[in-house]
Structure 1
Amino acid sequence: MKYMILQGLVAAALAVAFTRHFDGDKAFRVKPQDEGQVELVKYLSSMVQLDFWRPDSAHTIVPQTDVDFRVEADQIKTIQTLLEQNGMQYEILFQNVQEGIEKQFDGKPNSSNRRYSYSKYNKWEKIVAWTANIAAKYPKLVSRIQIGTTTEERPMYLLKVGKQRSAKNAIFIDCGIHAREWISPAFCQWFVKEATKTYGKDKLMTKLLNSLTFYILPVLNIDGYVWTWTADRMWRKNRSNSSNTNCIGTDLNRNFDVQWCSIGSSNKACSEVYCGPAAESEKETKAVANFIRNNIQSIKAYLSFHSYSQMLLYPYSYTYELAPTHEELNDVAKAAVGALSSLYRTNYTYGPAASTIYPTSGSSADWAYDKGIKYSFTFELRDRGKYGFLLPEYLIKSTCKETMLAVKNISSYILRYVS
């Protein structure tokens, strides 16, 4: 009886954490067979506000590719009827999105009194305190650098991890550019934990940290991440109001100065892939771009972590043309995916971003590559849609452990062939 009461209290606490609720909302998966069915999905999105999970907008839907989207409760009957009338098969990934949100947590409250947990999703307040604590705990290995502030004036802290006082060869890693992709910041925290705890014990990690510097940005889109905890779990963009509309937010991964606001992005502020009023218009984008520009001579690789799809992508996103170093990037990605899959046999796809997932412009990975960072990769972490953005906490550990193998594999390559 006591357990049932406690369980009820925990569920209630989780339920009231968000201002916006998704009771009765469903997440659908369809697979358009031809251009006619692609046009049907696009028509539905123009008639009803669909929250696209994969791809991230209607513009990039192509035949024979899964399309995942959330439908609000009062629109479900309309969508199902139109899909059925047009002979389009569908699968329901979530019968009730709100239940999926609540089941994402393991049911044990992550209170401020408890030891910092790397196998739980942590609020920004805990993460920012952790950045200070980890730097204080490992002063010879970790230092904290503020690279800017967000739209809402939150400090953007980057962790410099490694034994070298001045970086000769560095790898820049960012997580959480899209607010609702919680598994991404969880990985950045996990990486720092593994680096600090296994240095001097794990031979490869010790070698990497002795010779390379890792710049880790635990959460790039801090304001958006906070908003997913306090108001809207499905929020994607940042929280700037850079238009003359009531629509808030810019997609930070469409805001970098590379083929800005062309393919796979929108100049409409209400779009989930809004590119912003100008390239690098957003404080978060500008802070990252400035730091990389100021350290461009030492940064040899750029790794950006997203979810979901289980993919390892490399440039280009903005064109279907192959990058100049395509063959080498493909070899590195293949080896990294092999390392990742060796632990739990998780199946990852790899390849050029535009053809492997969908085309986009203004992405951080393309920008970094075109700035001369030869090894530029984007990870799309677990899963492939069963949980989507709502990956349960019990899968954090396994996701991070396998991803560490891929990152160490790429880092080893950098150490062998670049330094």
Structure 2
Amino acid sequence: MCPCSCACLCLCSIRRVSISNLQREIEKQTGYRSSRRRRSESQYDYEVYHSLEEIQSWMFEMNRTHSHLVDMFSVGKSYEGRRLYVLQVGKRNRHQKKAVWIDCGVHAREWIGPAFCQWFVKEAISSYQHDSVMRRLLNQLNFYVMPVFNVDGYDFSWTTDRFWRKTRSKNHKFHCRGVDANRNWKVKWCDEGASSHPCDDTYCGPFPESEPEVKAVAKFLRRHRKRVKAYISIHAYAQMLLYPYSYKYATIPNFNCVESAAHNAVTALYSAYGVRYRYGPASTTLYVSSGSSIDWAYRNGIPYAFAFELRDTGHFGFLLPESLINPTCTETMRAVKAIASGLLKKCETDKDRFPYI
């Protein structure tokens, strides 16, 4: 298994040059070039990548201007003291609505993730009046959207190291910093597919939920476990839709329901631009990994737990051009809507049988 990325080939195995001028591609995305389009006072540009400061300012603005559909709150603070903000998107018309959790930016360098979370909120709000499917979803569900899970790492990927992956917590015995936030969950923690060495990109941490970001989200989801019916985590890259188990080769109890939901999602995604996604259990479709968020969500009573690996399959990798933000987010939006729509229908095959793990 490649230890250096979420779903990629190790650099040592690459035999050809995919990007001839890596620095130029990085500068295109971080705004050092004058040609980069910036948001104006009145228009937020969803087709460029945004810094953490810009994203959080946007969240405040969405909360201010769309209070009938958006509510902003914090689930805690990061290791470096930054607020962990979440947007609740949905019509305030009933209590105890079913909910869908969506997080992005777990791995700092996967910038297309935060771009999608912003795109989702924008599309949900702007299409509420004219899209009957979205209106039904927002009337009957709440979406908890966390645009940047790993706020410290994401900020670091903008200011210092574009390819940074982990959190930014300090280790008392090593100079290496950070933990893989997708190996730090309390489910088969630090087993196969995770590293116990602090300098590795897949470092599991000193103990489960050692990272305040993971602990804060886990606490929120545990508190709302009776209402949260789907957990969706947005990653890159590989063009896959994954579901449990990650840590073992086994079939989940409600396999037929989850498999059907995944099939419907990738079919909806394909309908936009003909982009094909593989789907299936994470362990067999990608690789075995322990301490993952989808396994944790599933163990804690969330029957539909998915991890998307967005575009592409390796040519641009983590440096997905801004020109591909629109099509990537457009097709992913269709997939997420398909998953959410499925929650409103009763699955007759397995009837969501439990226990899960």
Structure 1 length normalisation: TM-score?
Answer: 0.79
Aligned to 1:15: none
Between the aligned partners of 2:125 and 2:151, the Cα distance in structure 1 is: 24
Aligned to 1:134: 62
Between the aligned partners of 2:95 and 2:75, the Cα distance in structure 1 is: 17
Aligned-pair CA distance for 1:109:
4.2
Between the aligned partners of 2:101 and 2:223, the Cα distance in structure 1 is: 13
After TM superposition, the structure 1 = structure 2 runs for residues 52-91 of structure 1, keeping only pairs within 5 Å, are: 52-53=4-5, 55=7, 68-70=9-11, 90-91=15-16
Structure 2 length normalisation: TM-score?
Answer: 0.92
**Pair 184,144 (structure 1): closer, same or farther in 2 beyond 3 Å:** same
Between the aligned partners of 1:228 and 1:337, the Cα distance in structure 2 is: 30
What one-letter code is carried by the residue in structure 2 that aligns with 1:92? V
Between the aligned partners of 2:200 and 2:99, the Cα distance in structure 1 is: 35
Aligned to 2:295: 366
What one-letter code is carried by the residue in structure 1 that aligns with 2:339? I
Query: Secondary structure of the equivalent of 2:116?
Result: helix
What one-letter code is carried by the residue in structure 2 that aligns with 1:93? S
Residue 92 of structure 2 corresponds to residue 92 of structure 1: no
CA contact (8 A) 1:54 1:69 kept: no
Aligned to 2:342: 413
Aligned to 2:317: 388
Between the aligned partners of 1:247 and 1:377, the Cα distance in structure 2 is: 30
- Aligned residue pairs total 344
Aligned to 2:72: 144
Between the aligned partners of 1:126 and 1:398, the Cα distance in structure 2 is: 22
Q: Which runs of 5+ in 2 are unaligned?
A: 352-357
What one-letter code is carried by the residue in structure 1 that aligns with 2:16? E
After TM superposition, the structure 1 = structure 2 runs for residues 7-406 of structure 1, keeping only pairs within 5 Å, are: 52-53=4-5, 55=7, 68-70=9-11, 90-104=15-29, 107-110=35-38, 113=41, 115-164=43-92, 165-406=94-335
Between the aligned partners of 2:305 and 2:16, the Cα distance in structure 1 is: 35
Aligned-pair CA distance for 1:110:
1.7
Choose 371-380 or 327-336, whichever is displaced more.
327-336
Higher normalized helix content (fraction of residues): 1
What one-letter code is carried by the residue in structure 2 that aligns with 1:97? L
CA contact (8 A) 1:336 1:406 kept: yes
CA contact (8 A) 2:29 2:49 kept: no
CA contact (8 A) 1:176 1:220 kept: yes
**Pair 243,354 (structure 1): closer, same or farther in 2 beyond 3 Å:** farther
What one-letter code is carried by the residue in structure 2 that aligns with 1:52? C
Coordinate RMSD, CA, aligned = 1.9
Query: Secondary structure of the equivalent of 2:306?
Result: strand
CA contact (8 A) 1:121 1:393 kept: yes
Over residues 138-188 of structure 1, what are the superposed CA-to-partner deviations in whole Å (9 max), with x where a residue is unaligned? 111100011000001000111011013533200001000000000000000
Between the aligned partners of 2:299 and 2:158, the Cα distance in structure 1 is: 35
CA contact (8 A) 2:69 2:89 kept: yes
Q: Percent identity?
A: 48
Query: Secondary structure of the equivalent of 2:323?
Result: helix
Aligned to 1:4: none
Aligned-pair CA distance for 1:52:
2.7
Higher relative contact order at CA 8 Å, sep ≥6: structure 1 or structure 2? 2
**Pair 93,170 (structure 1): closer, same or farther in 2 beyond 3 Å:** same
Choose 343-352 or 107-116, whichever is displaced more.
107-116
**Pair 108,350 (structure 1): closer, same or farther in 2 beyond 3 Å:** same
Aligned to 2:355: none
